[in-house]
Amino acid sequence: MLKTMRKNVKSLAPTLWIVIAAFIIAIFAVWGGAGRLGEKAGSTTIATLGKEKISTEAYYLTLRQRLEGLQKEFRGLNKSFIQQLNIPQQVLEQMIQQNLLRQKADEMGIGVTDKELREKIISLFQRDGKFIGFAEYRRILEWNRMSVPQFEENLKEEILLNKAVRLLTAGIAVTPEELWEHYKKNNETARLEYLLLQESQVELSQPLPLAELEAYFEKNKERYTIPEKREGSYIFFITEDLKKDVQATDSEVEKYYEKNQSQFQEPEKTRMSRIHLPFAGQDKEAVRKRAQDLLARISRGEDFGQVARDSSGDEKAKDGGDWGYDEWRRLPAREREETEKLGQGETSGVVETDEGVSILKVTDKEPAKTKPLEEVKARIKTILEDEKARSLAEEKISQLSKSARRENSLDVAAQKAGLKVKRTGLMKQEEGLDDFDAGGLISRTLFGLKDREISSAIYTFAGIGIVQLERIEPPRPASFEEVREDIEKDLRGARKKDLALERINAARPQVEGKDWEELASKLGLEHKVVNEHRREQYLSVLGESPEVDRLAFSLPLNQTSDPVEFSNGYALVRVLERKEASREEFEKNRETEKNSLLETKKNKFLQAYLNRLREEKDVRINTNLFLQINADILSRFEERE
């Protein structure tokens, strides 16, 4: 059961997941101690939500737990992948939303009774439809390094948030009209084709006369402004550069290894083979009988792999049904659960899912193990040296900051410390500064300072710095020369788009009733076909187009549309076939559709409600601490790039 719940850690979208996420985030064991940062972070705050606070320690541990869960699912999890998925941002946002919802539950006077808690425990811990008993319940929690009081406290929170969500969304309903429109949106499709011409495909070789550029500028002056810019003096210590001044001793490496062995555990590895017989419109009883016959052959000693090659109906049949050590984890949940029950060399019975029936065999099973110290020594050394280098950078910045505030000058303080101050140059807000601050944190900090004010420590993934605001250049209208390149680009784009419209209009009568694929290249147009277009579907090049949606379900079949404008060109559309929603099918699926739409509406309402709560509570995030914690945790994944 706990393994099944762990799968939910992958869910990151901020919808009704929130009532489950609080429980999942809290119950799983952490990766050993919180480390240097976690230990000192308990008194600091990463986010404030009115009178409530989220501590850096809570965020640190929660993020590590989430990454541990993902690491079990994705063996190649590394720093780049974590950043691409925005997992740190997702985790903090979940914590904020859960806290807001908890506050609202308290305001509404919602509580959890002992009976509700007991019923929830019984529903979660069942085997063959019956509660497993409190002794087994405690044993499972102990195996997961969780005390009964800790587990039940977190479970009470899950129940509390569920009750709050139910009360907040109780008044949301679905009208018959909404339901029919929702069904049509999901079930009506159109097969269509389109010819398009992008402005980038239009030649405009001759230079634009100066007079035309100036005229365009005069007509569109309000579009061209120079935004406020700010300049600062700064010092930044890059963690990697400071590593030459620190060293991790063998005893420190050994101590870290002993305290954090869970980081170096390799989970149990299971290799599985499968014989799959899909239902796919066949008589289900006949398929089940065939599966039993195959199982009997295997029981009599026939080679599983050969039976799979001869009889299996999935993509791995040619490989003797081998799904390897990892790929089987994308199979249906029932098959995954059955696989986990099998020992090495064991074969399952016939396992049935909605898709068909399967016979499973575990061909290899390696127990969980902890990597030896020698194997992970270099990795630990990197982690410790990164921590020491960052600690050294913090110490240097702390001393420099105190001196700079006494002198009211970062430059003077730097000279006394034998350091050289650098200038940012005039920067726009959010503008990056070299590789160490590509995200623009220094420029964002500058825009939050008063004249000559010195910032607090600025943490990026690369290191730690400090900046003093030196100069502000207010926003102003741009002169022609300052934005001449932008003007030429804009005017050239407008001219090319006009030419694209002329060419698409000229092509329209030539393609009426003809084979568009054949004519496209002759006319210098791109040809695209969409076999099943649904409303709000993203289309190649065109993107999401309300006008194409309208035409897809209103334009007479095989009739060429007027030109449809998109962001950088024009297109002609033709509907080849159309599948309309059936009232009869709709009635058959009414309840399913109703539940789906109702959940969607509740999710939207809940998200909007939480956004409003966020404003009311004036949620604030300490960006520097956020980046500091992330850098500390993500450094542990760097060597896996």
Pair 106, 216 in one domain: no
- Closest alpha carbon to 110 in 101, 99, 119, 118: 101
Pair 10, 144 in one domain: yes
Whether the CB-CB separation of 112 and 156 falls below 8 Å is answered with yes
pLDDT along the chain (641 residues), means of 10: 33 35 36 35 74 87 82 73 86 93 93 91 87 86 78 90 93 94 92 96 91 96 95 95 94 92 81 94 92 95 95 93 90 90 94 93 91 92 90 93 96 96 95 87 92 91 92 96 96 95 96 95 95 93 94 96 95 96 92 92 93 92 80 65 46
Q: Residue 375 falls within a domain, yes or no?
A: no
Which residues, 6+ apart, have CB-to-CB distance to 467 below 8 Å? 232, 233, 234, 410, 424, 442, 445, 446, 449, 454, 455, 458
Q: Residue 259 falls within a domain, yes or no?
A: no
Q: Compute the distance between CA of residue 372 and CA of residue 375 in angstroms, rounded to an integer.
A: 6
Pair 21, 112 in one domain: yes
Residue 438 φ then ψ, to 5°: -65, -25
Pair 44, 137 in one domain: yes
3-state secondary structure of 541: coil
Burial class (CB in 10 A: 0-12, 13-18, 19+), 457: middle
Q: Compute the distance between CA of residue 155 and CA of residue 161 in angstroms, rounded to an integer.
A: 10
E strand or H helix at 274: strand 269-278
E strand or H helix at 118: helix 114-124
Q: Compute the distance between CA of residue 331 and CA of residue 323 in angstroms, rounded to an integer.
A: 10
Question: Domain count of the chain?
Answer: 4
Q: Residue 261 falls within a domain, yes or no?
A: no
Q: Residue 572 falls within a domain, yes or no?
A: yes
Res 140: pLDDT: 84
Res 482: pLDDT: 95
Residue 427 sits in which domain range? Answer: 229-249+385-474
Q: Residue 60 falls within a domain, yes or no?
A: yes
Res 636: pLDDT: 67
Pair 196, 233 in one domain: no
For residue 353, what is the domain's CATH number?
Answer: 3.10.50.40
Res 638: pLDDT: 57
End residue of a domain, out of 319, 335, 367: 367
Amino acid making up residue 183: Y
Pair 212, 148 in one domain: no
Q: Residue 586 falls within a domain, yes or no?
A: no
Q: Residue 210 falls within a domain, yes or no?
A: yes
End residue of a domain, out of 410, 441, 474: 474
End residue of a domain, out of 474, 492, 519: 474
Q: Compute the distance between CA of residue 41 and CA of residue 60 in angstroms, rounded to an integer.
A: 9
Pair 389, 335 in one domain: no
Q: Residue 539 falls within a domain, yes or no?
A: yes
Pair 11, 151 in one domain: yes
Tokens (6 digits) for 469: 């605001």
Whether the CB-CB separation of 487 and 212 falls below 8 Å is answered with no
For residue 438, what is the domain's CATH number?
Answer: 3.10.50
- CA of 243: how far to CAs of 28, 103, 294, 382, 418, in Å? 34, 44, 62, 9, 19
Which residues, 6+ apart, have CB-to-CB distance to 339 below 8 Å? 270, 272, 328, 331, 348, 360, 362
Pair 45, 127 in one domain: yes
Pair 204, 323 in one domain: no
- Closest alpha carbon to 322 in 273, 360, 271: 273
Pair 153, 212 in one domain: no
3-state secondary structure of 364: strand
Pair 10, 138 in one domain: yes
Res 83: pLDDT: 80
- CA of 631: how far to CAs of 37, 82, 191, 239, in Å? 11, 12, 49, 10
